Amino acid sequence: MNGLFAVYRKELADYFSSYRFVILFALIAMVSFITSYMAGISLRESLAQDAKGSRFLFLMLFSTAGARFSMIQFVAFFGPLMGLFLGFDAINRERAQGTLVKVVSQPIYRDSVINGKFLAGATVITVMIVAVVLVISGFGLALLGVVPEVEEILRLAVYVAMSIFYVSFWLGISILFSILFRSTATSALASVAAWILFSFVVFFGASAVANAIAPVDKEGVDLPTVMRNVQITETVSVFSPMVLYMNATATIIDPKVNTTKSLVLQGPWEQILSARFQSPLPLGQSLLVVSPYVISLVAISLICFAVSYIVFMVQEIRM
């Protein structure tokens, strides 16, 4: 643990006093205000008509798309940028300004530097996400006048935990790039490129791949082909951490969702059943449904950090 907390304290102090953090936080606060306001307004309107009596109203604040997008979609799309902003120059800036050699020549283990930086970044991410969720909650309380149930609070906590892992994954990616590339401009570009690749190219490319492999005819709808098409789309898009995250949070924040599959074949009785008894899943069941995604999300975050760790440990300090 030698030096870990020294690095952690310094990094944290740096983050909180940097313009970068202020800009990032202002941006996120602004967006979360707007989305929650939009969601709140549209919820209040629908509350007057049909949503009355429906449970988990509070969670809908986060999942309802007011004008354009919901808070959840916002975090899925732009949360990665938060992680990337925080980490893209973590190591190479220190290299460039000549402070890295000085720090590691103190009696600390070399991994304390990278661990401290990652932990400080993760702390900042946690602070931001928790703050945003609290802001929206407070806003929601005022706008809707609905008090969250215990289960809603639990679900929100799970959602926050998963979001922290998701954004930390991107923090890990950007720290990896800051180790691999010497110039901060290159690592920033590479980070954004990775974000575009995994969030957009894979996401939208998945259906293109599926259509190429298993094209679906417009006229005669052939069920096995449709199934195959959907399966391929889902398989490819799972390579995107954004899809993992969206799937993982889907049933958590919206209890009525009881599967992450986009196409489910149902017999006539099942259709009647699911139409009649559309009851929300208990939290435990929701967690069970998304556990593969959650585990994958945690796993890629850890793998990414492990790779950065190894690269940093074997790299020449002067390089």
Partner 1 sequence: MDTNSVITTNGLTKRYLRQIAVEDLSFRVKEGEIFGFLGPNGAGKTTTLLMLLGLTRPTEGSATVCGFEPQRQAMEVKRLVGYLPENVGYYSDMDAVQTLEFIADLNGMSKKETERKIRDVIELVGLGDSDRKKVGAYSRGMKQRLGIAEVLLKDPKVLFLDEPTLGLDPDGAIRLIELIQNLNRERNITVLLSSHHLHQVQRISHRVGIMIKGRMVAEGSIDELAREKFGVGDKEFTLEEIYMKYFQEV
- The answer to the question of residue 303 lying near partner 1 (CB under 8 A) is no
CA dihedral 67, 145, 285, 69 (to 10 degrees): 10
- The answer to the question of residue 107 lying near partner 1 (CB under 8 A) is yes
Of residues 49, 52, 53, 98, which one binds partner 1 by CB under 8 A? 98
- The answer to the question of residue 97 lying near partner 1 (CB under 8 A) is yes
Nearer to partner 1, 288 or 313 (CB): 313
Amino acid of residue 243: V
Amino acid of residue 170: W
Amino acid of residue 68: R
108 to each of 112, 282, 285, 318, how far by Cα in Å?
7, 48, 45, 17
Tokens 């099942």 belong to: 270
Contact of 144 with 43, CB cutoff 8 Å: yes
Nearest to 112 by CA among 304, 300, 313, 311: 313
- The answer to the question of residue 104 lying near partner 1 (CB under 8 A) is yes
Site string for partner 1, 249-288 (x = CB under 8 A): ----------------------------------------
- The answer to the question of residue 19 lying near partner 1 (CB under 8 A) is no
Alpha-carbon gap, residue 312 to 306, rounded angstroms: 10
- The answer to the question of residue 99 lying near partner 1 (CB under 8 A) is yes
Site string for partner 1, 67-96 (x = CB under 8 A): ---------------------------x--
- The answer to the question of residue 7 lying near partner 1 (CB under 8 A) is yes
Nearer to partner 1, 2 or 285 (CB): 2
Q: Least CB distance from residue 103 to partner 1, whole Å?
A: 7
Alpha-carbon gap, residue 18 to 23, rounded angstroms: 9
* 238 token code pair: 């799972």
Residues that bind partner 1 (CB under 8 A): 2-3, 5-7, 9-10, 14, 17, 94, 97-99, 101-109, 316-318
